[in-house]
Amino acid sequence: MDSMQDPEAPKKAPWLINRNYRFLFAGQVISLFGDQVSTYTIILWIVTIIAAGRSWAPLAISAVLISSILPNLCIGFFAGVFVDRWNPRLTMMRADLLRAVLALLLVCCTGILPLPAFLHSPMVQISLICALTFLSSASAQFFNPAYMSLIASIIPAEDLPRAAGLGQTMQAFATILGPLLAAPLFFSFGVTWALLIDALSFIVSFGTIAAIHISYMLPTSSEPNNFWREFKEGFHFSFSNLTIRTLIVTSFIATLGAGAFDALYVFFLTGNLHTSASFSGVIATSLGIGTILGAFIATKSTRFFKIEYLFSFSLAGIGVSLLIISRLTVFPVAIFFFLLFGLFLASLRVASSPLLLGETPQNMIGRVVAVLGPTSTIASLVAAMLSGFLASVLLVHLHWNVLGTIFGPIDTIFVGVSILFLIAAFYAYRMLQKRIAPTVATTQVQDPVEAVIEDEVYAYIQEQEDV
């Protein structure tokens, strides 16, 4: 009958892959949204209440931001050793529980509970915010590698690009919606309720991770645990494996370029595109929309292109987009290319995760991710300092006229960054070609060998028949 379904027909894969990933995805969407709301709420809290009208308000904001970055550099490299020893699901649950407690302690600093008078001093409040931010970020250094390890455990290899695309999409939505809602929540309901959302988001994340069903076998070794030996093993694997080394090098270059872009694009907006800095939100939105589109397109394209080619192509696309942006002087046209920039950036991230997880043994994922994370943070810090020095000191008076084309300080830096991305694309293409080549070479060598074996077997059978 026509209405009967063919039992052999392939079933369409669920949008969120499987039951375990659905729980993980839901929890992380809420958690990421809570993080974004919390970040902007703390900034508004300091600027409008704690340090209102104080000259040291920018310094207080910087202190909080540094407190969130320091754990990545101090703890991030070492956290992976412990993550690889522990059950990733339980590690994530413990990290979420700790961050929920820290977020609730931050809520207590808002005056919701009667506290000693000295705790309401602006300097004490800033110190408490910095300390709690540091501890929350320290917990994240264990959560993030464990998240990647759990992804590798619950998602089949062929669905990893789709999971990466969905992850990029939820991050883009959180980045767009979080800041938009933080200010209305803060001014309508106060700092207490805005920060409570962050605490509740960690509790929800804890619950969704607890609902994941997975049997995870802890790695066993005949040798006793030795921190420094395991730490060195992680570093050695990360830099000796061709694919992982390529990811680390290109990630450093890409983060260096993206960091310079983040630090200077507002000045490019006013100086080169001749538009008010108030339109920076439009640029951020176009980047966010580009990220969502890029995640969707990249996920679909993995059906037709090897993930290695997608990675290299994305780096080249970022470089070309930024090169074009550097020469633009019209704001509406620039919006399109900013969107394109975000599209290729998302495509790059979609390709990165499957490459990393496909090459890294399960018992090494934590240590490899722990190398990539701090390396990217170092690149961001270098980019912020170097781009500021170049734009404010070294190139501040730059005004070149090359064949009628004017080069100023900001657009010249953007040209340099675009060249960095193109170099990274060429490097990635050459290195990842070596990853593809062995498969092709093996196929070419095996056929003649199999033919010889078949001839030998045939000759042996003939001899037996003659006997």
| Residue range 377-435, pLDDT digits in tens | 899 888 888 888 888 887 777 777 666 677 788 888 899 999 999 999 999 999 988 77
Q: Could you give the CA distance from residue 155 to residue 363 in angstroms, rounded to a whole number?
A: 16
Nearest to 363, CA basis, from 92, 91, 85: 85
Q: Could you give the CA distance from residue 432 to residue 420 in angstroms, rounded to a whole number?
A: 18
- Judge if 258 and 330 occupy the same domain: yes
Q: 394 vs 43, which has greater pLDDT?
A: 43
- Judge if 339 and 383 occupy the same domain: yes
Going by pLDDT thresholds of 50, 70 and 90, the confidence category of residue 205 is very high
Residue 313 lies in a domain: yes
- Judge if 283 and 151 occupy the same domain: no
Report the pLDDT value the prediction gives residue 200, as an integer from 0 to 100: 94
Q: Could you give the CA distance from residue 30 to residue 198 in angstroms, rounded to a whole number?
A: 9
- Judge if 381 and 247 occupy the same domain: yes
- State the residue for tokens 């292109």: 305
CB 236 within 8 A of CB 371: no
- Judge if 202 and 288 occupy the same domain: no
Residue 222 lies in a domain: no
Q: What is the CATH number of the domain that holds 359?
A: 1.20.1250.20
Tokens linked to 221: 């070794």
Where does residue 365 rank: exposed (0-12), middle (13-18), buried (19+ CB within 10 A)? Answer: buried
Q: In this prediction, what percent of the chain has a pLDDT beyond 70?
A: 86
Going by pLDDT thresholds of 50, 70 and 90, the confidence category of residue 356 is very high
Report the pLDDT value the prediction gives residue 183, as an integer from 0 to 100: 84
Q: Could you give the CA distance from residue 42 to residue 186 in angstroms, rounded to a whole number?
A: 10
Going by pLDDT thresholds of 50, 70 and 90, the confidence category of residue 234 is very high
Residue 445 lies in a domain: no
Residue 344 lies in a domain: yes
Going by pLDDT thresholds of 50, 70 and 90, the confidence category of residue 22 is very high
| Residue range 132-152, pLDDT digits in tens | 999 999 999 999 999 999 999
- Judge if 208 and 286 occupy the same domain: no
- Angle subtended at Cα 349 by Cα 348 and Cα 353, rounded to the nearest 5 degrees: 120
CB 43 within 8 A of CB 61: yes
Q: 86 vs 168, which has greater pLDDT?
A: 86
- Judge if 255 and 191 occupy the same domain: no
Report the pLDDT value the prediction gives residue 13, as an integer from 0 to 100: 59
- Judge if 253 and 205 occupy the same domain: no
Residue 453 lies in a domain: no
Query: Looking at residue 157, what DSSP letter applies?
Result: G
Residue 455 lies in a domain: no
Say whether pLDDT at 439 is over 80: no
Nearest to 426, CA basis, from 297, 278, 299, 315: 315
- Judge if 312 and 390 occupy the same domain: yes
Going by pLDDT thresholds of 50, 70 and 90, the confidence category of residue 447 is very low
- Judge if 190 and 287 occupy the same domain: no
User: What value does the mean pLDDT take over residues 443-454?
Assistant: 44
Going by pLDDT thresholds of 50, 70 and 90, the confidence category of residue 280 is confident
Tokens linked to 104: 């609730």
Say whether pLDDT at 450 is over 80: no
Report the pLDDT value the prediction gives residue 310, as an integer from 0 to 100: 93
Helix axes 331-359, 365-389, angle to 10 degrees: 150
Report the pLDDT value the prediction gives residue 313, as an integer from 0 to 100: 95
- Which residues, in sequence order, are bridge partners of residue 401? 406
Q: Could you give the CA distance from residue 79 to residue 365 in angstroms, rounded to a whole number?
A: 11
Average per-residue pLDDT for the chain: 84
Going by pLDDT thresholds of 50, 70 and 90, the confidence category of residue 182 is confident
* Domain residue limits at 153: 13-212
In sequence order, which ranges of 212-330 are alpha helices (DSSP H)?
227-240, 242-271, 280-301, 307-326
Report the pLDDT value the prediction gives residue 441, as an integer from 0 to 100: 44
Nearest to 348, CA basis, from 240, 234, 237, 258: 258
| Residue range 74-106, pLDDT digits in tens | 998 899 999 999 999 999 999 999 999 999 999
Residue 184 lies in a domain: yes
- State the residue for tokens 């910095």: 130
What residues have CB less than 8 Å from 38, skipping those under 6 apart?
103, 194, 195, 197, 198
Query: Looking at residue 392, what DSSP letter applies?
Result: I
Report the pLDDT value the prediction gives residue 383, as an integer from 0 to 100: 86
Report the pLDDT value the prediction gives residue 322, as an integer from 0 to 100: 93
Tokens linked to 74: 């101090």
- Judge if 62 and 137 occupy the same domain: yes
Nearest to 379, CA basis, from 211, 467, 206, 250: 250
Going by pLDDT thresholds of 50, 70 and 90, the confidence category of residue 108 is confident
- Judge if 336 and 423 occupy the same domain: yes
Number of domains the chain is built from: 2
Report the pLDDT value the prediction gives residue 458, as an integer from 0 to 100: 42
Report the pLDDT value the prediction gives residue 437, as an integer from 0 to 100: 61
Q: Could you give the CA distance from residue 58 to residue 43 in angstroms, rounded to a whole number?
A: 10
- pTM listed for this prediction: 0.82
User: Three-class SS of residue 260?
Assistant: helix
Say whether pLDDT at 448 is over 70: no
Report the pLDDT value the prediction gives residue 203, as an integer from 0 to 100: 95
Residue 466 lies in a domain: no
Going by pLDDT thresholds of 50, 70 and 90, the confidence category of residue 348 is very high
Report the pLDDT value the prediction gives residue 409, as an integer from 0 to 100: 84
